[in-house]
Structure 1
Amino acid sequence: DSCGFYDFCAAPRQGVIALTATVLESLATDSDLPKLQAEAQGHKAAFDQRSQELVAMGSRIQELGAELAQRDQELSALQIEVHGKTGELQALTSMLEQTSTNAHERFEASATVMQRAWRRTLAKAREDRAMAEHIWKLRRMQQHRRLVAFQRLWRERQCRLRQRQRDVEQ
Structure 2
Amino acid sequence: MTVGQGIGRPWAAGPAAPAVELREVSREYGKGEAAVRALDGVSIGFPAGSWTAVMGPSGSGKSTLLHCAAGLERATGGQVLLTGRDITSAQDWALTSLRRRTVGFVFQTFNLVGSLTAEQNVALPLRLAGRKVSRQAVQDVLGAVGLGDRLRHRPRELSGGQQ
User: Fold-level match, TM-score > 0.5?
Assistant: no
Q: Which has the higher contact order (CA 8 A, sep 6+)?
A: 2
TM-score category, normalised to shorter length: under 0.3
TM-score normalized with structure 1 length: 0.15
Richer in helix (by share): 1
The structure richer in strand per residue is 2
